Amino acid sequence: MMEAQEVEVEVEAQAATESGDQQIKLYSYWRSSCSYRVRIALNLKGQNFPLFSKRKKRLKYEYKAVNLLKGEQFSPEFRKLNPVGYVPVLVDGDTLVADSFAILMHLEEKYPQHPLLPPDLQKRAINYQAANIVSSSIQPLQNLAVLKYLEEKVSPDEKIEWVKFHIGKGFSALEELLNNHAGKYATGDEVYMADLFLAPQVYTAIRFQLDMTQFPLLARLHEAYKKIPAFLDAIPEKQPDAPSP
């Protein structure tokens, strides 16, 4: 699988420059919530925009599937991209970035269209806090490696309760944090970084049948995200490596 996906950075970067488009590679797994966040960001920043010239350029990305269930993330080829063996990984010209938070910050700093962070410092801090609750206090406790360990060492039934407990704990904190800051979206009436972390996490909570009536604010935001094309195009079922219905 990975041999066909060797990165040919210089040739592709030159071709992208000559065409006026920026070609990016995203190594992703369809159900990975971390990859899901990055797909939303790429979709948002992939809209047509004037970038330092009269000519309009378009940020595009090539989807590179990594099957986590088959262990492709542990292949020698992939470990060259990310030694820890996690998705997502972004290859942007001669820059390689692993970890969704780092990738989002790279995209934010390099591509100014559709900012992921608000100019207001207080709102920016809330976005960082919300993103970190998801990325540090929820997602690591529900990832594939943890659930596989629990299933083998404890029981298959226990892993579901484990996931619900930790998602619920994080969601309670998010409800409290965002209560005085939310508008149409998590921190106002524009989509920002917090929303990119919340959408995949609520999707995962629903997949594990967590009762979302306990979290009315997050449930409302989930409905709002369903109306945004960049979010809809990033959902797991629409990815190239998603299983056929």
CATH number for position 39: 3.40.30.10
238 within some domain: no
User: Both 103 and 137 in a single domain?
Assistant: no
**Secondary element (H or E) of residue 65:** strand 59-65
User: Both 182 and 220 in a single domain?
Assistant: yes
Q: Residue 148's pLDDT is what?
A: 87
Q: Residue 51's pLDDT is what?
A: 41
Predicted model pTM: 0.87
Task: For residues 124 and 126, give the distance between their C-alpha atoms in angstroms, rounded to a whole number.
Answer: 5
Q: Residue 79's pLDDT is what?
A: 97
The number of beta carbons lying within 10 Å of the beta carbon of residue 208 is: 15
> What CATH number does the domain containing 196 carry?
1.20.1050.10
Q: Residue 21's pLDDT is what?
A: 56
Query: Left, alpha or beta for 114 (phi > 0: left; psi -120 to 50: alpha)?
Result: left
User: Both 41 and 126 in a single domain?
Assistant: no
Final residue belonging to a domain, choices 110, 144, 164? 110
Q: Residue 58's pLDDT is what?
A: 58
The rounded average pLDDT for each run of 10 residues, N- to C-terminus, in the chain (245 residues) is 38 40 87 98 78 50 96 97 97 96 97 96 98 96 88 86 96 98 98 98 96 98 97 98 93
User: Both 227 and 187 in a single domain?
Assistant: yes
Among residues 101, 78, 75, 98, the alpha carbon closest in space to that of 88 is found at: 98
Q: Residue 12's pLDDT is what?
A: 38
| Centroid of chain to Cα 213 | 24
The amino acid at 195: D
| Centroid of chain to Cα 207 | 17
The amino acid at 171: F
Q: Please count the structural domains in the chain.
A: 2
Q: Helix crossing, 156-178 with 216-225: angle to 10°?
A: 90
